[in-house]
A and B are shown apart, each in its own frame.
Chain A
Amino acid sequence: MEGKIIVISSGKGGVGKTTATASIGAALAMDGKKVAVVDMDIGLRNLDVVLGLENRIVFNIVDVARGKCKLQQAAIKARRLENLFLIPASQSDNKDALTPDDMIRISKELRKSFDFILMDCPAGIERGFENAVAAAEEALVICTPEVSSIRDADRVIGLLFSKQIPPKLVINRIIPSMVERGDMLSYQDVVDVLSIDLVGLVEVDDNVVVATNSGTPLVLQKDSKAGQAFKRIAMRLNGQPDLPIEVPGATKSFWKRIGSKIGFGK
């Protein structure tokens, strides 16, 4: 097995990196791929609670780096998904507990046992970022349609390019009614400003909070718009790069809906 390492980054905090990592990881696992999601936010771990695995942590990635345990011992199997594994962060150390060299070493082993390895990058562009991108071949940059998030995304995109890691863009938390009113940047505006390839558009969705409350993967909820959007992003990463990107809010008008019900048009 020769797995692919994708880092999920954003620069700014709180734009949905961890949710994206958990959701895309779960979706890839549902497609039958063996997936590891790695929490790189040493000292401020959260991927474990989002996945509902906070009570099962015995070893973490810092233990693996220090040789206190094997990689397999630190990997926790997700509750409802056969192929999804979490490598948790340590909560008691800080970002200096790992070095980019540690990560390159650990990643060699990860590649052997998983098809996809998703690195949940911490906010910021310091040591934690350096560690998370050290072994990555590809990157997803998550941003929301807000000035501060886009500016930080631009900085991270620049850094990723300088490290020869091609980034792809995910725009998260789009509020279609605000875009319509002209009070939120449209996805075209964001792509215009950042000028990198788009890989997905995710609408704001209450289900994200609900899923996090219970620690169940968002993609298991069939009626979650965000969950379905993340599922399609996973498909694009997994051999279907040309799957069309659906624009949130571009729902059919009343008459078109009636039309498609009785068999006219699409």
Chain B
Amino acid sequence: MLNSLINKLFNKTTSKDTAKKRLQFALVYDRLEVSDDILKDMQKEIVDVISRYFVIDQEQLKLDITRDDDLSALMFNTPIISAKPRQRMA
């Protein structure tokens, strides 16, 4: 109790704080390690959805997962050729 109070007062980082931070990052990375098959499946589904609304250039689309120190992102890049004419809802 006293120890943790002193640490807080002097704003010291304890070794468990370091452990927790490292763990949280490691797990984010681990959980994002997706197999190629899963990525391919996902890409196909995303393309299906987008194709309902836009005509896209399927040759040039790119799917990628990028990782930075404090951010992980799923990047999906596709050139849009045109919007699809939408049918009016009945």
Contacts and interface: CB of A to CB of B under 8 A. Distances in A.
Contact of B16 (A151, A154, A155, A189): A189
Chain B: number of interface residues, binned into ranges: 10 to 19
Interface in B1-50: 1, 3-4, 7, 14-17, 19-20, 22-24, 26-27, 30-31
A180 B1 contact: yes
A206 interface: no
Give the secondary structure class of A's interface. Answer: helix
Contact of A182 (B16, B23, B26, B27): B16
A183 interface: yes
A181 interface: yes
Contact of B7 (A182, A192, A193): A182
Interface residues of A, number: 18
Given A147-B23, A182-B3, A182-B7, A154 B17 contact: no
B15 A151 contact: no
Contact of A154 (B1, B15, B30): B30
A193 B23 contact: yes
Interface string A129-153: 0000000000000000011001100
A224 interface: no
Given A180-B3, A180-B4, A185 B30 contact: no
Given A154-B27, A154-B30, A193-B27, A186 B16 contact: yes
Interface of B: 1, 3-4, 7, 14-17, 19-20, 22-24, 26-27, 30-31
8 contacts: A151-B27, A180-B1, A181-B14, A182-B17, A185-B19, A185-B20, A192-B20, A193-B27
Interface of A: 146-147, 150-151, 154-155, 158, 179-186, 189, 192-193
